[in-house]
Amino acid sequence: MRSHIHYRDYQDFESDPLFLATMMPDEGLDIILGQFPGSDVKYTSPLQCALFTSQTATTVITHAQTIANITETTYTSYARQTLAAATWGAAAERPTNLGRQRTYPQLTYPTVGATGATINGFYIANNGFTVCIGQANFDDGLAVVLATNDVIKVTPTIAYLH
Amino acid sequence: MASKKIYECTNASCTLGSRKDPGRFSGGITQEQATAFLGDPDAPHGDGYCPNCGEKGKEVSDA
């Protein structure tokens, strides 16, 4: 038997809404979190956690931008801190029931020397610092103005949503 | 950032970085900071001395 596929002359695929339900449950997200950032078999550990002065205290790069669009701070004595795969905390709920997350122990950056900076947030990059994995403002949406002798501490979290 | 020397603080009780992983810094502690931290105006300071605790850091090449 022969069959024919009939096409409509015009079909606006892009504006058609999708009505399918999806769910990545806790147990599935925990597997993904176990691979990244949990397993250094899957990527080169440690990752790098850097501070940025570009964008604003409440904005970050767009999805199509890259690490090249982010300006890293250069305050005196600043250096990126590292995130070792084995150090991330256990997977836990992202409140409230948004997904699952793993949190890294609080990082302390070097005490600011002669020249400070205004920090709009932090970003996590791959080991070679060639790819931005994620960029975030601080959770209070405020820039941190660093002056001489100030110390900034950051607690990074990676979350996957259901 | 490319030409900047990066050091790792190997002082286990220094809070730089996280508790389990040694923190990194560039530059070093100033003489004023070293005097304040260590109480010794002749304490070593400058490039390679941790700005957080004043201990000598270890240079790392991968930064």
Q: Which long-range contacts (CB under 8 A, 24 or more apart) does A66-69 make?
A: A66/A131, A66/A132, A67/A123, A67/A125, A67/A129, A67/A130, A67/A131, A67/A132
Write out the two tokens for A120: 């709009």
Distance from CA of A139 to the nearest CA of B (A): 20
CB contact under 8 A, A79 and B25: yes
Rounded to the nearest 10°, the torsion over CA A120, A126, A130, A133 is -50
Give the percent of chain B with pLDDT over 90.
Answer: 60
Give the tens place of pLDDT for each residue, A96-136.
999 999 999 999 999 999 899 999 999 999 999 999 999 99
Domain positions in chain B are: 6-52
Give the tens place of pLDDT for each residue, A87-107.
999 999 999 999 999 999 999
**Could you give the C-alpha distances from A128 to A30, A160, B61, in angstroms and in order?**
26, 24, 12
Nearest by CB to residue A110, choosing from B1, B20, B52, is B52
Nearest by CB to residue B33, choosing from A82, A104, A111, is A111
Write out the two tokens for A75: 């305050």
Q: Is B42 on the interface with A (CB under 8 A)?
A: no
Give the tens place of pLDDT for each residue, A16-59.
666 789 999 999 999 999 999 999 999 999 999 999 999 999 99
Residue numbers in B near A67 (CB within 8 A): none
Write out the two tokens for A123: 């970003």
In chain B the first and final C-alpha atoms are separated, in Å, by: 9
Q: Is B35 on the interface with A (CB under 8 A)?
A: no
Closest CA to A133 of A100, A91, A85: A85
Distance from CA of B27 to the nearest CA of A (A): 5
CB contact under 8 A, A79 and B26: yes
**Could you give the C-alpha distances from A135 to A47, A69, A152, A162, in angstroms and in order?**
13, 11, 17, 20
Q: Is B12 on the interface with A (CB under 8 A)?
A: no
The SS3 of residue B57 is coil
The SS3 of residue A103 is strand
Model confidence, pTM: 0.84
Nearest by CB to residue A111, choosing from B7, B19, B51, is B51
What is the widest separation between alpha-carbon atoms in chain A? 82
Nearest by CB to residue B24, choosing from A72, A79, A84, is A79
Number of residue pairs across A and B with CB atoms under 8 Å?
Answer: 73
